Amino acid sequence: MRIINKRIAADPSYLPRISLIGAVVFVISVWHIPVPVTGSSSHPVGTPLASIIIGPFATVVISAIAVFFQSFVAHGGLTTIGANTFSMGIVGAFGGYFVYRLLKNVSPLWFSAGMAGFSGSILTYLTTALELALSLNPGNVMHYWKLYSLGFIPTQLPLAFAEFAFTGYVIKYISETKSEVMNTTSSTDKFTKTALFSMILITAIIAAGAYIGYLKGYNLAGIDGTVEALAAPAAVSSGIGVKLMARFGEPLGFALVGITGGLVTGYFWNSWRKT
């Protein structure tokens, strides 16, 4: 809301623009197609398109308003506004916008916008599937997250491709006719782009490996535990790392190790690169 107020103060035309895009998001996201397996329905989202035009933070606000009014026409409900806003308005908007910014300078505008629409749609429903699993099946979240995600695929993939085409066309048209309408932000330096791209790539590889391992029945044991069990099944670990984990717990222990390693690597990175 603070960002919206600042933008309106600097550009009064921003307010009717938000109103228009809010109506667009409501109309796009209210259209639904029944989904097998989950007993739910699948929707286009529209929030990646909105985030490119008015910015991702403003998109969160109009998404909350949209899902509020949708609750009166048998979509979701008052008690699910938080979950729906998170999946569609936060994950869908910021995920799509990040993809758009990442591809904007290395691909045609229509393609980067289209990929934003596609990615935002898929991310929204992966998040929705996770929310369903957490809400309905807290005892076996991973299994039901996979089940609900697979249930969304038959209808969501065609909708995601449609959102790719629609978002790409609209953004290309606006850029050619009303470029001042587009949301503008400061450019990102090359190092930041490279770092963000590397982070996403590495995270995707790790997530894919973990998911494949889960499908094969390894229960996400992790690389280190699997290697230790196969290479030295009789070994007993008693090093300083094990003692620290036992004292502080794994989350805090890994956080301390990660922060320390990141600081050391970042601090010495320039000298290592030069030598």
Whole-number Cα distances in Å, 170 to 140, 174, 197: 41, 6, 26
Structure confidence at residue 263 (pLDDT): 80
With pLDDT > 70 as the criterion, what percentage of the chain qualifies? Answer: 81
- How many CA atoms are closer than 13 Å to the CA of 66, on its beta-carbon side? 29
What pLDDT, on a 0 to 100 scale, did the predictor assign at position 58?
A: 92
Contact 59, 53 (CB under 8 A): no
Contact 70, 29 (CB under 8 A): yes
Residue the block writes with tokens 């290697």: 227
Q: Which domains does the chain have, with CATH numbers?
A: 2-187 (1.10.1760.20), 236-275 (no CATH)
Q: Residue 149: its pLDDT value, please? A: 86
pLDDT of amino acid 120: 93
Spatial distance between the Cα atoms of 162 and 15, rounded to a whole number of angstroms: 28
**pLDDT tens, residue by residue, 78-119:** 888 999 999 999 999 999 999 999 988 888 889 999 999 999
Q: Number of C-alpha atoms within 13 angstroms, CB side, residue 207?
A: 7
What pLDDT score does 157 carry?
82
**Residue range 154-165, pLDDT digits in tens:** 778 888 888 999
pLDDT of residue 64: 92
pLDDT at 60: 93
User: What local confidence, expressed as pLDDT, does residue 122 receive?
Assistant: 92
Segments in the chain below pLDDT 70: 33-41, 74, 179-189, 191-192, 210, 213-228, 237, 240-241, 250, 270
Query: Would residue 89 be called left, alpha or beta, if left means φ above 0 and alpha means ψ between -120 and 50 degrees?
Result: alpha
Beta pairing partners, 33: 42
Closest CA to 123 of 143, 81, 93: 93
